[in-house]
Amino acid sequence: MIKGNEANKVTDVDNPKDFSDVLQHIQRSRQKIFAQINTALIELYWHIGQIISYKVNSQGWGKKVVTDLAQYIAQQDPELKGFSDKNLWRMKQFFETYQGNEKLSPLVRELSWTHNTIIFSRCKTAEEREYYLRLCIKERYSTRELERQISTSHFERTMLGNQKLSAVLRELHPSINNTFKDNYVLEFLGLPMQHDESHLQKALIQNMKQFILELGKDFIFVGEEYRLQVGNQDFFIDLLFFHRGLAALVAFELKIAKFSPEHLGQLSFYLEALDRDVRKPHENPSIGVLLCRDKDEDVVEYALSRHLSPTMVAQYELQLPDKKLIQAKLHELSENVSFNDDSDVSL
């Protein structure tokens, strides 16, 4: 006969999975509740913004009236927070930014109010707002991460990267849009302007979390100095990743000098070795990224025009980019390209 205390001990040992299941139910339910609360809050702000927008446009409400409204709310219900005159004006801007946009208005309900205020206040075009809305939903960025991506011109750099993709890359990876950038911003490394490749590689390894944020969260780090054996010789890839969305290995070669066409030969050799000896049967062809300190766009275009390997050439920067310069560069390259196509901005 099992005594009461002994029975309890058996239960504790035998039922850890049951306990885990209960905890998971609680956590999932809590997440659903938080999501429902957030959706309801965004709906509320939307409708308040709609009312204020209508009153401003039809009845001449101005700053004083909205300030009086904020004071009235505070006096009538002191426990209510988030309804200052400044926030009420944000609600008006929020509604006016997305009203009538059936494609974007559902997306804003999936993000927090703080995420939304960052996007609609800092992004100037519908295409840019759509890009960051989808990116936040997909990557689950914190507000700090979102601020960083906007400050580093993530949208513009990715659109430029899309236009620089070679025909070979597009053919082998039809869904490659929005995966790579033309410029990678590595300000978090804290490297001096004068550095060597070993310092760059070491700094990237030490700051891999931030580097993954810059690359995209679908990138999984495989290893540094990844060894390839061909014949009786050993070769080493600087950084090797796997991209979940593309189901492909991605080899990064680091160059602190200006791009030179012969760099592509080395990278193509690495891709051939990866595809023959490392790639699994269900995976797609490997991709190579030559990450260099500087590049001449004409030289890159000539070098890639007849290149048969799925490679691209990108540049890295150690300081935050000049957003206006990048926007001008994007405008110059995309004068005849419409970003209204979902394939260009959706993720």
Task: Give tens-digit pLDDT for 26-61.
Answer: 888 887 788 788 989 999 999 999 999 999 999 989
DSSP per residue, 97-137: HHTT-TTTHHHHTTS-HHHHHHHHHH--SHHHHHHHHHHHH
Q: How many CB atoms lie within 10 A of CB 9?
A: 12
Which pLDDT band, with edges at 50, 70 and 90, does 198 fall under?
very high
- Report pLDDT digits (tens) over 279-319: 999 999 999 999 999 999 999 999 998 888 999 999 999 99
- pLDDT of 338 reads 47
Distances (CA, A) of 327 to 128, 153, 272, 340, 347: 11, 8, 36, 17, 20
- pLDDT of 343 reads 42
- pLDDT of 344 reads 55
Which pLDDT band, with edges at 50, 70 and 90, does 342 fall under?
very low
- pLDDT of 332 reads 76
- DSSP three-state, residue 323: helix
Higher pLDDT, 186 or 341: 186
Percent of the chain with pLDDT over 90: 73
Which pLDDT band, with edges at 50, 70 and 90, does 339 fall under?
very low
- Report pLDDT digits (tens) over 253-284: 999 999 999 999 999 999 999 999 999 999 99
Q: Where do the H-state alpha helices sit in the chain?
A: 4-14, 16-59, 63-76, 85-98, 105-108, 113-122, 126-139, 143-151, 154-163, 167-172, 197-206, 208-215, 262-277, 297-305, 323-333, 342-345
Architecture of domain 164-322: 3-Layer(aba) Sandwich (3.40)
Matching residue, tokens 């995309």: 334
Starting at the earlier edge strand, list the strands of the sheet with 233-243.
Answer: 183-185, 311-317, 287-294, 248-258, 233-243, 219-230
Q: How many CB atoms lie within 10 A of CB 254?
A: 18
Report the alpha-carbon distance of residue 178 to residue 201 in Å, rounded.
24
Percent of the chain with pLDDT over 70: 91
Report the alpha-carbon distance of residue 135 to residue 129 in Å, rounded.
10
For the segment 164-176, the average pLDDT, to the nearest whole number, is: 93
**Burial (0-12, 13-18, 19+ Cβ within 10 Å), 139:** middle
Report the alpha-carbon distance of residue 322 to residue 157 in Å, rounded.
11
- DSSP three-state, residue 283: coil
| Annotated domain spans of the chain | 30-156, 164-322
Report the alpha-carbon distance of residue 300 to residue 18 in Å, rounded.
59
For the segment 130-149, the average pLDDT, to the nearest whole number, is: 95
- pLDDT of 182 reads 92
Q: What are phi and psi of 52, to 5 degrees?
A: -65, -40
Which pLDDT band, with edges at 50, 70 and 90, does 203 fall under?
very high
- DSSP three-state, residue 304: helix
Of 51-55, 79-83, 133-137, 234-238, give the lowest mean pLDDT range.
79-83
Which pLDDT band, with edges at 50, 70 and 90, does 340 fall under?
very low
User: What residue type is assigned to position 294 of the chain?
Assistant: D
For the segment 323-342, the average pLDDT, to the nearest whole number, is: 66
- Find the length of the chain: 347
Q: Please list, in sequence order, all residues whose beta carbon lies within 8 angstroms of the beta carbon of residue 204, skipping any fewer than 6 positions away.
A: 186, 189, 211, 239, 254
Report the alpha-carbon distance of residue 200 to residue 33 in Å, rounded.
45
DSSP per residue, 16-46: HHHHHHHHHHHHHHHHHHHHHHHHHHHHHHH
Averaged pLDDT score across all residues of the chain: 90
Do 249 and 274 contact (CB within 8 A), yes or no? yes
